[in-house]
Amino acid sequence: MKLYAQYFKTDILSGLVVFLVALPLCLGIALASGAPLFAGIISGVIGGIVVGLLSNSQLSVSGPAAGLTAIILVAISSLGSYEAFLLAVVIAGALQIALGFAKAGTLSNYLPSNVIEGMLTAIGVIIIMKQLPHAIGYDVDNEGDFFFIEKGVGHNTFSSVIDAVNYSHLGAIIITLVSMAILIAWNNIAFLKNLKTVPGALVAVIAGVLLNEGFKATGSNLAISQTHLVNLPLPTSFNDFIHQFATPDFSAVVNAKVWIVGITIAAVASIETLLCMEAADKMDPLKRMTNTNTELKAQGAGNMLSGLIGGIPMTSVIVRTSANINSGGRTKTAAVAHGVFLLIAVLAIPAVLNKIPLACLAAILILIGYKLASPTVFKHMWKTGKYQFIPFIATVIAVVLTDLLKGVGVGLAVSMFFILRANMKVAYFFKKEKHHQGETVHIDLAQEVSFLNKAAIKQTLMHLPENSKVVINASDSVYIDYDVIQLIQDFIKIGSKDKNIQVTTVGFREEYKIESSTHVTSSN
């Protein structure tokens, strides 16, 4: 509770920024999926409030995901009605809850950090490339479409960026430049950085709206038309609002196609969520660990509720989560707040939201993308050595040129090649003595320690009793994977302090930056 109180203000402001990012994505993904626009809003609200409250993750933000658009589009068409599709979403949610109880979330422990880094960097590159057309007023591609091959327009990401130059709009370009100038100033000028109660993204959006309204009032050719603004459905009465909700067709439960769609959604949504969880934990400034099994249950509950009232399926989403972390979010309050803001905005000020230029939101997303894919990331991965860099860059290229799941699959395959090549020489051996509180635990690392051993070591460290002593011996180790080194370093700096564990490290080579010494900690 102390942590929630400490970060309450920054979390609320971060939630506001995430709301601004999430609003057009909710609408764009629903449109790209062939679902009602309001279905995307339903999914966003539930992903923020319900999943946010139930989730074990402090930083993840859930909502409709680009990775599911193709599945949803085909499913609605093949099942014959949107109501039958909603039943498949409910089934998917139930299956995710079952996966959580079956502890399928532990699969995320086997994802190497170089692949996760590659995925995050690729998402940054994709965000920048997808938002550049919106930034100059070319909005033929829906917000929320993160596929390389753009459905329905016959283009790919690269060709759309080139085409956008021919259809640019000076008014949109001006608004983008002004918005980016505000955001950059807010992050670099000391006076503005200290204005923590006013997020730069909100100022940028207000400035964009005022500029465009000024263009309209003066009859200028710089004015941006409604097709290049946020386009939220506007119900004319309470009955119109209620009619935007829908319920599943439970009579379709005997349809085998409904079950196939449900299983497909559950599988893809769960994989994307686990990928995002691992990425969120990696980006967490406080280095906390998420219980991924609890997360699957939370996602399942969210998808069941979304399906019951007319929403499309959701996952934990990297774009929203990155926006949350970069905006200062540190607890789940931010995710819940973003859902509350979505709900309030849809109920109270939809007409005001429809004045926001997409160019303004593109500026926010471009800077988020740059933080994910900055040159510093490439330099850092290069310095870690070829065994880290090659899978990293392979993941970046594959995700950009295909999609998230296929790209990560390529990265995993490349990473596995190097691991299997190493394991053909020396097998991994891990020894753990039975321990009780107060006793000394000896963890002896083998000659070759790969990322495949990360899960076992992580579980051992997490379950060490309070006030105990642990000796981690690397004297026999020829190679220790970067993931395992990072895990041990984080445990020494943070995890051991939380449980008042005295850590002694022995035999670590100089390049691992873990000194052979006793690290004495004390609980706060």
Q: Is 110 exposed, middle or buried (0-12, 13-18, 19+ CB in 10 A)?
A: middle
Pairing of strands 448-449, 430-432: unpaired
Instruction: Identify the pLDDT of residue 150.
Output: 61
Nearest-5° Cα angle at 507, 504 to 513: 80
Q: pLDDT by residue (tens digit) across 446-489? A: 877 877 778 778 888 888 888 888 889 888 888 888 888 999 99
Q: Let me know: does 18 contact 334? Beta carbons within 8 Å.
A: yes
C-alpha span between 175 and 207 (Å, rounded): 8
Whole-structure pTM value: 0.76
**Count of beta carbons in the 10 Å neighbourhood of residue 313:** 34
Residue for token digits 């829908």? Answer: 246
C-alpha span between 139 and 142 (Å, rounded): 7
Q: Let me know: does 391 contact 118? Beta carbons within 8 Å.
A: yes
pLDDT category, 157, cuts 50, 70, 90?
Answer: low
| pLDDT beyond 60 at 300 | yes
Nearest-5° Cα angle at 42, 37 to 48: 130
pLDDT category, 338, cuts 50, 70, 90?
Answer: very high
In terms of C-beta distances under 8 Å and separation of at least 24 residues, what long-range contacts does 155-161 make, across chains too? 157/126, 157/129, 157/130, 157/400, 158/129, 160/133, 161/129, 161/132, 161/133
Residue 105 DSSP one-character state:
G
pLDDT category, 523, cuts 50, 70, 90?
Answer: very low
Q: How many CA atoms lie within 13 A of 3 on its CB side?
A: 10
Mean pLDDT of the chain: 86
In the chain, pLDDT over 70 holds for what percent of residues?
A: 90
Instruction: Identify the pLDDT of residue 499.
Output: 84
Instruction: Identify the pLDDT of residue 217.
Output: 94
Structure-block tokens of residue 36: 């009602």
Q: What integer is the mean pLDDT of 391-403?
A: 91
| pLDDT beyond 60 at 524 | no
Instruction: Identify the pLDDT of residue 175.
Output: 95
Q: How far is CA 68 from CA 120, 200, 333, in A?
A: 18, 31, 26
Instruction: Identify the pLDDT of residue 457.
Output: 84
Domains of the chain and CATH, by start = 2-361 (no CATH), 374-423 (no CATH), 430-519 (3.30.750.24)
Side chain identity at 379, as an amino acid letter?
K
Q: Which residues contact 218 (CB under 8 A, 6 or more apart)?
A: none
Q: Give strand ranges (E) for 313-389.
A: 314-316
Instruction: Identify the pLDDT of residue 199.
Output: 82
| pLDDT beyond 50 at 427 | no
Instruction: Identify the pLDDT of residue 428.
Output: 42
C-alpha span between 467 and 387 (Å, rounded): 37
Instruction: Identify the pLDDT of residue 226.
Output: 87
Q: How far is CA 348 from CA 148, 231, 234, 342, 351, in A?
A: 36, 15, 11, 10, 9
Q: How far is CA 218 from CA 214, 222, 227, 360, in A?
A: 6, 10, 20, 20
Ranges of H-type helices in 112-169: 113-135, 157-166
Structure-block tokens of residue 446: 């083998």
Q: pLDDT by residue (tens digit) across 225-267? A: 888 898 888 888 888 889 899 999 999 999 999 999 999 999 9
Q: Is 412 exposed, middle or buried (0-12, 13-18, 19+ CB in 10 A)?
A: middle
- Residue with the bigger pLDDT between 388 and 159: it is 388
pLDDT category, 406, cuts 50, 70, 90?
Answer: confident
C-alpha span between 180 and 204 (Å, rounded): 8
Pairing of strands 149-150, 479-480: unpaired
C-alpha span between 338 and 47 (Å, rounded): 9
Query: Which of helix, strand or coil describes residue 423?
Result: helix
Q: Let me know: does 292 contact 108? Beta carbons within 8 Å.
A: yes
**Count of beta carbons in the 10 Å neighbourhood of residue 233:** 15
115-129, 185-199, 273-287: the lowest-pLDDT one: 185-199
Q: pLDDT by residue (tens digit) across 44-98? A: 999 999 999 999 999 999 999 877 887 898 899 999 999 999 999 999 999 999 9
Q: How far is CA 126 from CA 49, 200, 268, 430, in A?
A: 28, 23, 20, 40
C-alpha span between 258 and 262 (Å, rounded): 6
Q: What integer is the mean pLDDT of 398-408?
A: 86
C-alpha span between 323 and 121 (Å, rounded): 14
In the chain, pLDDT over 90 holds for what percent of residues?
A: 44
Q: What integer is the mean pLDDT of 169-198?
A: 86
Instruction: Identify the pLDDT of residue 210.
Output: 96
pLDDT category, 498, cuts 50, 70, 90?
Answer: confident
Instruction: Identify the pLDDT of residue 171.
Output: 93
C-alpha span between 163 and 11 (Å, rounded): 39
| pLDDT beyond 60 at 102 | yes
pLDDT category, 153, cuts 50, 70, 90?
Answer: low
pLDDT category, 437, cuts 50, 70, 90?
Answer: low
Instruction: Identify the pLDDT of residue 436.
Output: 56
H or E element at residue 77: helix 69-79
